[in-house]
Structure 1
Amino acid sequence: MTPFERPRRLDLQQRSALAGEAAAASADVESALLTPSDPTAAAFFDVDNTIMQGASIFHLARGLHRREFFSTREILDAAWKQVYFRVVGVEDPEHVAEARNSALAFIAGHTTTELEELTEEIFDEAMAHRIWPGTRALAQLHLDEGQRVWLVTAAPIEIASVIARRLGLTGAMGTVAEHVDGVYTGRLVGDLLHGPAKAEAVKALAAREGLDLARCSAYSDSSNDLPMLSLVGDPCAINPDARLRAHARANGWRVRDYRTGRKAARAGLAGAALAGAVTGAIAAGVSLRGRAFPRS
């Protein structure tokens, strides 16, 4: 039985594990075909506000909308279903599952090749100039030390892979949308690669690649990623939210902030507003995310 054929009625832990397994299985390792000089150590980087300024899925969604990949009506319909099910059916697992899948229904019939090609274009026009130089330099340090570097994000694996490839990283793990013969079905494999699912993905990849997590590093801006950060021997908070900053300081973790003082001070409020008002509504329809829109 493949991951795409597993039963849909899974609890959160099972969905997280399935999402992590799917992400690890889909990880692009083309640039890692040569044996690294330090094969048991690696680094894992979150994307949004860690590698890139802002939400990658927002830029992808906007670019896809401009190319008429989907309509405004489809965005609003998907967003409405998210709101309805979160308010009315939040305690009902069946409603949650329906909300998660309904947001993806309209991508059914689009091909993986189509989305990947469009993502390449959108990266060049809207994302390349938003990469944080400081975080990019940290990733390069790991590469220079002979270690492999993976992105780990709740954004779709398609966009995560493009970003990793353009930055010369080893590969990426992201949310996996179910597809059959290269055509999307409109459902997720497991769940979003978010929170606990990221930790599951890292553990699965470490087992596959023979990594020693005690020698690995992880980087993120969000307290949602504490499960992943806590897995490794060298966690680092990048442009952290308030909770992550406090946790990092309390535990002696490294902290790096590449924002200006003003941006950093407003980050929590502005980030929440953007995620809730703009990214959330648009991403509901195109991002391959299935319910609320947590930062990746």
Structure 2
Amino acid sequence: MLRPQTLLAHEEVSVTLAIFDLDNTLIAGDSDHSFGEYLADIGWVDAEQSRATNNRFYEEYKAGTLDILEYSAFALKALVGKSPEVLAQLQQDFLANKIASMELPKARALVEKHRNQGDDLLIITATNRFVTTPIAQWLGIDDMLATEPEWVDNKITGKVVGTPCFQGGKVTRLNTWLTTYPGNLDGAYFYSDSFNDLPLLSKVDNPVAVDPDDTLRAHAEQAGWPIISLRD
């Protein structure tokens, strides 16, 4: 969790911010796509139709053509109207049955390296907060920006509130977050695997491509950005 500060209005804290994408960066897989698979596995959705749609959206994401609002409506549809107790159990089951096997020891070591250096840690992910909150907790990172599902009367409506945390939306969301953060982006790191994150990678002082897709790898090589692997 970001450290509490007592500051005058003009004061800033000289602490480095380490920002991490989540899917295929801190974990060895895509939690969004995997959640759709999991819902099919447990019978919450029509398996054949849902898997086909889920795969189509994932291909669109990889191509950079995803309509994030259309996808979010699909991803949240099965959760609409469910009680908080049912949803909380679903989150934990998904974490245990799908996400735990995606653990990357090198990713955890990288997070701990930044933590031990005294850096502030932040996940910024396009995947919705319902899916990602337990994963962030499992990784030991308290602060996160994610696409926000709408809740009304303690139930998910299937809609998204605010700016989706995707592509340039990550920059928009981060800029808003920075208005209440007691520091700035000086020296900040951002780790990502996806060319969809080029807007934010281009904004920080220390962009790092992590097991990147082909487009991001080419861009990183041309720009002279570090390229690392967190896979075994």
Q: CA deviation at 1:157?
A: 0.7
2:121 to 149, 157, 160: 149
Aligned to 1:79: 53
Q: CA deviation at 1:34?
A: 5.2
Structure 1 residue aligned with 2:152: 180
- What is the match of residue 211 of structure 2? 239
- Please show how residues 1-296 of structure 1 align to structure 2 within 5 Å: 31-32=1-2, 40-72=15-47, 75=50, 79=53, 99=70, 103=74, 104-190=76-162, 192-259=164-231
- The 1:46–1:98 alpha-carbon spacing in structure 2 relative to 1, beyond 3 Å, is closer
* 8 Å CA contact retained: 1:116, 1:158: no
Instruction: Give the alignment's TM-score, normalised by structure 1.
Output: 0.63
Structure 1 residue runs of 5 or longer lacking an equivalent are 1-30, 87-95, 261-296
Q: CA RMSD for the aligned pairs? A: 2.9
Q: Give the 3 Å change call, closer, same or farther, for CA 211–98 of structure 1 in structure 2.
A: closer
Maintained 8 Å contact 1:39/1:147: no
Deviation string, structure 1 residues 209-241 (Cα, Å, up to 9, x no partner): 123112211000011101111121111100011
Whether the aligned pair in 2 keeps the contact of 1:60 and 1:119 (CA below 8 Å) is no
Q: Is the 8 Å Cα contact of residues 68 and 164 (structure 2) preserved in structure 1? A: no
Determine if contact 2:41/2:47 at 8 Å carries over to the other structure: no
Q: Residue 73 and residue 180 in structure 1: after superposition, are their counterparts in 2 closer, same or farther (change >3 A)? A: farther
Does the 8 Å CA contact 1:223/1:243 hold for their aligned counterparts? yes
SS at match of 1:149: strand
Is the helix fraction higher in 1 or 2? Answer: 1
Contact between 2:23 and 2:29, CA under 8 Å: does it hold in 1?
Answer: yes
The answer (yes or no) to whether the contact 2:190–2:208 under 8 Å persists in 1 is yes
SS across alignment from 1:54: coil
Structure 1: how far apart are the matches of 2:78 and 2:163?
A: 18
**TM-score, length-scaled by structure 2:** 0.79
Q: Which amino acid aligns with 2:229?
A: D
Aligned partner letter, 2:28: Q
Letter in 1 for 2:32: I
Query: What CA distance in whole angstroms lies between the structure 1 residues aligned with 2:92 and 2:230?
Result: 26
| Deviation of the 1:254 alpha carbon | 1.4
The answer to whether the Cα contact below 8 Å between 1:151 and 1:160 also exists between their aligned partners in 2 is no
Q: Which has the higher contact order (CA 8 A, sep 6+)?
A: 1
Q: Percent identity?
A: 28
